[in-house]
Amino acid sequence: MAGIRNKGRVPRRRPARPAALAGLSALVLVLGGCSGAKVGEAGAGPSGGSGGAGKCGSFNLAVNPWVGYEANAAVIAYVAKKDLGCEVTKKDLKEEVAWQGFGTGEVDAIVENWGHPDLKKKYIEQQKTAVAAGETGNKGVIGWYVPPWMAQKYPDITTWQNLNKYADQLKTSESGDKGQLLDGDPSFVTNDGALVKNLNLDFKVVYSGSEAALIQAFRQAEAKKTPLIGYFYEPQWLFNELKPVKVELPPYTAGCDDDPEKVACDYPVYALDKVVSRKFADSGSPAYQLVKNFSWSNEDQNLVAKYIAQDKMSPEDAAGKWVEANRVKVDAWLAKKS
| Alpha-carbon torsion (327, 113, 29, 26), positive or negative | negative
Q: How many CB atoms lie within 10 A of CB 217?
A: 18
pLDDT at 25: 34
Q: What are the residues facing 234 on neighbouring strands?
A: 141
How far apart are the C-alpha atoms of 277 and 104, rounded to whole Å?
Answer: 9
H helices of 116-158, where? 117-120, 148-153
pLDDT at 336: 65
| Class of domain 141-246 as given by CATH | alpha beta
| Alpha-carbon torsion (243, 306, 217, 136), positive or negative | negative
User: What does the pLDDT average to over 153-162?
Assistant: 98
CB of 14 closer than 8 Å to CB of 209: no
Q: Regarding predicted confidence, which is higher, 312 or 336?
A: 312
What residues have CB less than 8 Å from 145, skipping those under 6 apart?
Answer: 218, 229, 230, 231, 232, 244, 245, 246, 247
pLDDT at 70: 96
| Alpha-carbon torsion (267, 61, 8, 294), positive or negative | positive
pLDDT at 1: 56
pLDDT, averaged across the chain: 85
In this prediction, residue 22 has a pLDDT band, given cuts at 50, 70 and 90, of very low
Give per-residue pLDDT as tens, 94-140.
988 999 999 999 999 999 999 899 999 999 999 999 999 999 999 99
User: For the chain, which residues make up each domain, given as ranges?
Assistant: 29-139+273-334, 141-246
Give per-residue pLDDT as tens, 245-258.
999 999 999 999 99
Residue 29 CA: distances (Å) to CA of 51, 272, 299: 20, 26, 28
Give per-residue pLDDT as tens, 160-169.
999 999 999 9
pLDDT at 44: 39
Instruction: Say if pTM beats, i.e. exceeds, 0.85.
Output: no
How far apart are the C-alpha atoms of 157 and 151, rounded to whole Å?
Answer: 7
Chain centroid to Cα 180, Å, comes to 23
Is residue 34's pLDDT more than 90?
Answer: no
pLDDT at 254: 93
Give percent above pLDDT 70 in the chain.
83
Nearest to 226 by CA among 177, 144, 169: 169
Residue 235 CA: distances (Å) to CA of 36, 68, 109, 283, 300: 22, 7, 20, 32, 10
User: What does the pLDDT average to over 218-238?
Assistant: 95
Fold held by 29-139+273-334 = D-Maltodextrin-Binding Protein; domain 2 (3.40.190)
- 141-246 has the same fold as 29-139+273-334: yes
How far apart are the C-alpha atoms of 317 and 189, rounded to whole Å?
Answer: 29
How many residues are there in the chain?
338
